[in-house]
A and B are shown apart, each in its own frame.
Chain A
Amino acid sequence: MNIFRLSGDLSHLLAVIILVLKIWTTRSCAGISGKSQILFAIVYVTRYLDLVTTFVSVYNTSMKVIFIGASFATIYLMYSKFKATYDHNHDSFRIEFLLAPTVILALLINQKFTVLEVLWTFSIYLESVAILPQLFMVSKTGEAESITSHYLFALGSYRGLYLLNWIYRYYAEDHYELIAIVSGIVQTVLYCDFFYLYITKVLKGKKLQLPA
C-alpha cells in the first residue's frame, strides 16, 4: 500500500458514496446513466469473485464488499425505487458495443486461460470503457449537475491515481501488470475532456455545460 493507491481507493469510495447519497437525498437519478451503472456492477462482480477463493486483507475484503453493495444499491434505486426519475431517452448508448469487444479481448489477451482469470481480465477491460454511456449521456444533454460532476471527477481520478501507484510499484517493488496498466491508461484518457471542463467550469462555481 502506498499513498497513490490509498488515495485512489478513497477517491473510488468517495465516488460510489456520492452517487448513492445524491440519488437518495434528491430522490432522483436524473442525469445518471443506468447503463454505466449496470456495467460497473458487472465489473465488480466479475473482478471480485476471488472474495470466495482468496483472502488478501480485511481492508481488501471490506472495499470489495462495499463496491459490490453500493453498485447494487444504485441499480435498485435507479431501476426500482426512483424509476420514474430515470432518464431513459438520454441513456441510449448500446452497451453490447462495449460488452462484445471486451469479452472477445479477454478471451484473446489474458495471462492464463482459466475461468477466474478470463473474468478478471474482462472486468479490467470493461471497467476502462464502462463510463462511456454516462459520458455519452452528458454530451447528449449538454450538461451535468454539479454533484454528478463531482461523482465523475472522483471516479475518473481513482484510476489516474492507480497509474501513479503502478509507476511507484514498478520502481519500488519490481512489480507491474501490463493488462491493468494499459487499460488504466485508456480509462483515464477517456476522462480527459471531462477533467478539463470540470477544472475550468465546475471548480469556478459554474455548471458543467458543454459548448454548443
Chain B
Amino acid sequence: KDNVQTKDEL
C-alpha cells in the first residue's frame, strides 16, 4: 500500500 499524501482531501 502506498503511503501517499491525501492532498485531494480537506
Contact = CB atoms under 8 A, between A and B. Distances in A.
Majority SS of interface residues in chain A?
A: helix
Overall SS of chain B's interface: loop
A5 interface: yes
A175 B10 CA distance: 16
Interface residues of A, number: 24
B7 to A, nearest CB: 7
Contacts of A111: 5
B1 A177 contact: no
Contact of B3 (A54, A60, A176): A176
A170 B1 contact: yes
A180 B7 contact: no
Contacts of B9: 5, 162, 165, 180
A56 B7 contact: yes
Interface in A38-80: 50, 54, 56-57, 60, 63-64, 67
B1 A67 contact: no
Interface of B: 1-10
Given A177-B3, A180-B6, 15 more contacts: A5-B9, A50-B7, A54-B7, A56-B8, A63-B10, A162-B9, A169-B6, A175-B1, A175-B2, A175-B6, A176-B2, A176-B3, A177-B5, A177-B6, A178-B3
